[in-house]
Amino acid sequence: MNELRPLWRLFRPYRGWMLFGTLVALLTLLANVALMAAAGWFLTAMATAGAAGVTINYFTPAALIRGSAILRTVGRYGERLINHEATFRLIAGLRVWFYRHLEPLAPARLQQYHSGDLLSRIRADIDALDTLYVRVLIPLAVAGLSLLLFTGFLLFHHPVLALTGLGFWLLAGVGLPLWSQVRGREPGRRIAADEAALRAAVIDGVQGLAELGVYGAAEHQAQRIATLSRDLIAEQGRLSSDQGLTQAGVGLCANLSLWLLLWIAIPLVDDGRLMPPHLAMLALFTLASFESVAPLAPAFQMLGRTQAAARRLFAIVDTKPAVSEPSAPSPRPERFDIEFRDVSFTYPGASRPALSGIRLAVPQGGRVAVIGATGSGKSTLFNLLLRFWTPDAGSIHLGGYDILDFHGDDLRRSIAVVSQHTHLFAASIRENLRIAAPEASQEALESACRVAQIHDFIAGLPEGYDTWVGETGVRLSGGQGRRIAVARALLKDAPILLLDEPTEGLDADTERELMRALDTLMVGRTVLLITHRPAGLDWVDQVLVLDQGRELARGDVSVIPSALQTHLLPL
Amino acid sequence: MSVNAWLKAQRPLADRSLVSAIWLNTANGLLAINQAWALAVILDAVIFKDADLTEVRSWLWGLLALFATRALIVWHAERAAFQAAASVRVKLRDQVYRHLQRLGPAYLSGQQSGALIETLTKGIDDLEGYYARFVPAMALVMILPPAILVAVMPMDWLSGLIMLITAPLIPLFMILIGSGAEARNRQQWQRLVRLGAHFLDVIQGLTTLKLFGASRREIEILARISDEYRHSTMQVLRIAFLSSAVLEFFASVGIALVAVLIGFRLYDLALPVPDWIPIPKLTYLQGLFVLMLAPEFYAPLRHLGTQYHARLGAVAAAEQLIQILDTPPSQINPGKEPLAATPPFGVRFDEVSFSYGPGREVLKGLSLEIPPGQCIALIGPSGAGKTTVINLLLGFLVPTRGRILIGWQSLAELDLDDWRRHLAWVPQQPRLFQGTIADNIRLGRPEADLATVRAAARRARADAFIETLPLGYDSPVGERGTGLSGGQIQRIALARAFVRDAPLVILDEPTANLDPESERLVQEGIAELARDRTLLVIAHRLSTVRRADRILVLDQGRLIEQGTHDELIAAGGFYARMLAAQGPLQQGGCGG
């Protein structure tokens, strides 16, 4: 339960709603039980009175029955309304909290998680926590409170009855679910592994269909998927059987509780220590009461899943950020040159440094290219310059000031980035552009898009700038996305421009158009480009060639060929 | 076919298990009637017949036997229900995947693979809700309430009438409410999807937000959007919950009415009805029995209500599956003959045209020749049709006009599997499959031994880096070859082609995204591959094709130039112009 304690603190603002919801759920359950118990009592009382010719006040019990029926209906509706309202508030709170803690960690601390994996884990874990309230907390609270009341009720009639009743309730509500939990742990692990294996095989089978077909391996893959499918289901079957057993067990507990009640109560009726209507009432009460413990088995299962989800989410959130913000206000640079002074950096857990003793000076308005193969450290330069990571040794200066003296946001205000991967948010094109300049007018957006060579395309879309893009909208090609990134950079109008392999993966025509747009963008700015292609760099003043984090050559464009020829780059 | 009809149609896949599940649940329900009777007898005996424990003992033991039997039945019903759904899932997954294989890569390129994968994994699993939960619950609703009515009516037609009237009112009102909410649901749906996706979208784009200093601003936006989501969803749910309220209302009112009216009659109270209606008289035993059956009467409907969610999940999955299954394979290659030509063989395109649809003609009467044993480079601007030529050769597409000849046979006549045995293909972004490096190299020839694999890796210039890995050839790789660079993946794909030992090798942009060193190594591997084989190389980068035996220049679906590099330069045509625009070249190409 330890993992859930911080979660409990998170839920504090909503405790009022949660209490209210629990109460209404409890009332609904009590009404349910009262309906049957009162009916049993009523029937028997009326029958015995009728047989004996005695008058009884039947208005009250009849009213109780009717009242229970109404309360059950209203309670059910109200309970769902209130609890869903509470759940949504909890969800909102959870998401804001999670984001607030995630924000300072990006991107440094999140790079270790493979992107798709992080996202699907977060989605699954947050979903699990969303159901914590309705599927776990409420059933547990209602069961606990109602058992107290029920035991008290039975105590009122006979202590032994209370004992047996409590015994069976606890067996059905706690004993059986716990047994099921424990037994389910191993199969649960195997199921998770099987699901992953099946998923991997399906991914291979779908995304690799072409190659499988040409190399004649398609049939093999189909059989592999079928086998993994059967394995997974066999494992799930074992778990399902246990769950079925638990369910049967809970029903059996209810029946046995009734059975024991009869053995104990019948002699009491014969002795006259228990009134006959009470016997019928207690019998029906017992059967109805188990409705409170029936949802506990799934609740316990959900609890396990929720604990695991909470643990993972807290693991992400409890990490210390990779960079800390300075306490003093940021400096205001007057010029925008960049200087790397003996910068060294190793990613945590890496076997060799990403950068060693790098020196580079980019004058204001200068254009510098950093060339190197994958893994040579080029992207690390950008990560450090953007203050996503802190160098282990050396320092980086902007306009003469050490960038560590800047607040992250202030520093990045002076830098615009155009990279290979452009993330477009699930929003309109206009909103995607406005990220760069929230106050920009439509004219400003359009003129930036014109320069970026993307305005005509946008204008040609049926909804123009209002077109919904991103995950849930229209998909843009790599080249189009990158031109939007250029438009963003234009709107941001930052004095420093970082280009991360901007033409990678584009065909020749698109590349040409993009370069045209970039040419305009680069005017008057300090530009730092990273690339692995040493060709086509005549427009650059200075190059830095990197190999495995070390400087191979530095100077003007002429140093490139000799650097590549004299030093054999390893595999 | 509608979703419901389709779901029903898949039931035979469930074998006997589904029927078992239904029968077992029915048996459980019928035993519940027996249980109610036994309990009523016991209580009646004790209360009105002064029976003591010894007299009801046999009934008590009978009751215990009933309890045990019911527990066993419930357990097995659960297992049968799972088995039924499991059977459907296994068979359907196999069916759908094989159908996807028949649809081929042409279909897949138009879809989002992520959605397809979700459908094949989680989607199929979601069908469980329909076959294991909904169908048995539905069957129970059809069987048990009528059975109870049969037990109750002869005894007390008044209670029977109450049950009979309330029962159909429940689904009636639920449908009325449901259809009222339907229209509003549909409007809200897209909005809800967008609001719901916002959170993950923001997390995915967190770095971008940081770059624009917008990440902290996003906190308020997130709070606001979550609030909107809550508000919108609650408006929809408010109405949906009325459905369950209706169910609860009629069930509760039904039970209450039955109880009260039985009680009144047992008390000999006159009921406010005209004299000519004969109110049935009851004994206590009968009254108690009917009372205990009342909740059992409504229970199947209540249970069905809780399973409705399971059905929704299954319906959504079924819609996806139907979409896939209903798509007919568009490119059917009916050929059955084996390839007669012996390697090395040449390939000839004879006035081949291909269009993806009306107005999307990519190849227009293309005629070209790939002579045996030569290295041919295929170049041209994007959209010229190079990839289409490859796809036609690989058998993924069928020409709309014209023929592709291998030797004297037309590709359309050949058995596709046999033809492909003579092919090796290195795509632009080769895929490494789950397994070891050795498994991946063996893809085209699973029976190849380690020596063959090693030799192939050596020739592909891949053995050096494989040997440096801790597990060597047994190193696990998967998906996009995590941990390996683009150049390394490319060389493993080349090794694959070597092991395949096919007479015709097709290479698609083999050095597109590689750094200079990797590019050099891959070029060397290609040069080796070119010996004694027919090679077709597509390239964007003119530097790749310099040494080809012949360069075919494609533009707008037509062959506009061909010849060696020197010939084309001298001719001063399209090729020469493209070259001039590119800049200085490097070494490399077909011949090394």
Cβ contact A99–B482 (<8 Å): no
Q: What is the pLDDT of residue B497?
A: 92
pLDDT above 80: residue A109: no
User: Which residues, listed in sequence order, are joined to residue B476 by a DSSP beta bridge?
Assistant: B436
What's the rounded Cα separation, in Å, for the pair B285 and A41? Answer: 14
- Sorted by where each starts, the structural domains of chain A and their CATH numbers stand as 2-178+266-318 (1.20.1560.10), 338-568 (3.40.50.300)
Minimum-distance CB partner of A102 among B60, B206, B208: B206
Distance separating the N- and C-terminal Cα atoms of chain B: 57
CA-atom Rg of chain B in angstroms: 36
Mutate to test the interface with B, among A215, A286, A467 (most CBs of B within 10 A): A215
Distance from CA of A55 to the nearest CA of B (A): 9
| A 157-176: CB under 8 A from B | none
**Chain segment A514-546, per-residue pLDDT in tens:** 888 888 888 889 999 988 777 778 888 899 988
- Residues of chain B positioned with their CB less than 8 A from the CB of A81: 234, 237-238, 241
Name the A residues in 383-402 with CB < 8 Å from any B CB.
386, 388
Query: Which residues in chain A are contacts of B199 at CB distance < 8 A?
Result: 95, 99, 126
**For the packed helices B135-152 and B53-109, what is the interaxial angle rounded to 10 degrees?**
150
* Smallest CA–CA distance from B105 into chain A, residue: A210
Q: Which residues of A touch B48 (CB under 8 A)?
A: 47-48, 51
Of the ranges A16-25, A55-64, B6-15, the best mean pLDDT one: A16-25
Rounded to 10°, the helix A59-102/A115-130 angle is 160
Cα–Cα distance for residue pair B520/A4, rounded to 1 Å: 56
d(Cα A238, Cα B279) in Å, to the nearest integer?
53
Judging contacts by C-beta atoms under 8 Å, the chain B residues touching residue A56 are 267
pLDDT of B505: 92
- CB contacts of A211 in chain B (<8 Å) are 425, 427, 430-431, 443
Total CB pairs under 8 A between chain A and B = 407
Q: What is the pTM of this model?
A: 0.81
Tell me how close the Cα of B365 comes to any Cα of chain A, in angstroms: 25
| pLDDT at residue A373 is higher than 80 | no
The DSSP-derived string for B518-545 is HHHHHHHHHHHHHTTSEEEEEESSGGGG
Q: Do A103 and B218 touch (CB under 8 A)?
A: yes
Average pLDDT over residues A481-507: 87
On chain B, the residues whose CB falls within 8 A of the CB of A469 are none
Q: What are residue B243's phi and psi, to 5 degrees?
A: -55, -50
CB contact under 8 A, A106 and B465: no
Q: Do A233 and B193 make contact, defined as CB atoms within 8 angstroms?
A: no
Q: Which residues of B touch A224 (CB under 8 A)?
A: none
Task: Please tell me the predicted confidence (pLDDT) of residue A153.
Answer: 93
* A122 to B200: CB separation less than 8 angstroms, yes or no: yes
Q: Give contacts of B197 with chain A, Cβ < 8 Å.
A: 426, 471-472
A536 touches chain B (CB under 8 A): yes
Per the CB < 8 Å rule, is B52 touching A267?
A: yes
Given a contact cutoff of 8 angstroms between Cβ atoms, the answer to whether B534 and B503 are in contact is yes
The proportion of chain A whose per-residue pLDDT surpasses 90, expressed as a percent, equals 47
Per-residue pLDDT of chain B (592 residues; tens, 9 = 90+): 788 889 888 888 887 999 999 999 999 999 999 999 999 999 999 998 888 888 899 999 999 999 999 999 999 999 999 999 999 999 999 999 999 998 888 787 766 777 788 889 888 998 999 999 999 999 999 999 999 999 999 999 999 999 999 988 888 888 887 777 766 666 676 777 777 778 878 887 888 899 998 988 899 999 998 888 888 888 888 887 888 888 889 999 999 999 999 998 888 877 777 777 778 888 999 999 999 999 999 999 888 888 877 888 888 889 889 989 998 887 666 778 888 888 778 899 999 999 877 777 888 888 999 998 888 999 887 667 888 899 899 988 888 889 999 988 888 888 888 899 999 999 888 888 988 999 999 998 999 999 999 999 998 888 888 998 888 898 888 654 467 777 788 889 999 999 998 999 999 877 766 777 777 888 888 888 888 889 999 876 666 678 788 999 888 888 888 888 888 888 888 887 777 665 444 434 454 4
Q: Are B265 and B282 in contact (CB under 8 A)?
A: yes
Of A88, A207, A236, the CB nearest to B234: A88
Complex ipTM value: 0.85
Task: For residue A21, give both structure tokens.
Answer: 């919801």
**DSSP characters for B356-415?**
SSTT-EEEEEEEEEE-TT-EEEEE-STTSSHHHHHHHHHTSS--SEEEEEETTEEGGGB-
Asked if the Cβ–Cβ distance from A49 to B212 is below 8 Å, we say: no
CB–CB of A211 and B223 under 8 A? no
Residue pair B117/A195 in contact by the 8 Å Cβ criterion = no
Q: What's the confidence (pLDDT) of residue A565?
A: 55
Q: Which two tokens stand for residue A320?
A: 């210390």
Confidence at residue A217, expressed as pLDDT on a 0 to 100 scale: 93
**What's the gap in Å between the CA of B325 and the closest CA on chain A?**
15
Distance from CA of A528 to the nearest CA of B (A): 16
| Nearest residue of chain B to residue A438 (CA atoms) | B214
- Percent of chain A surpassing pLDDT 70: 95
Pairwise CA distance, residues A557 & A448, whole Å: 31
B97 and A222: CB-CB below 8 Å?
Answer: yes
Residue B279 DSSP code: P
CB contact under 8 A, A276 and B46: yes
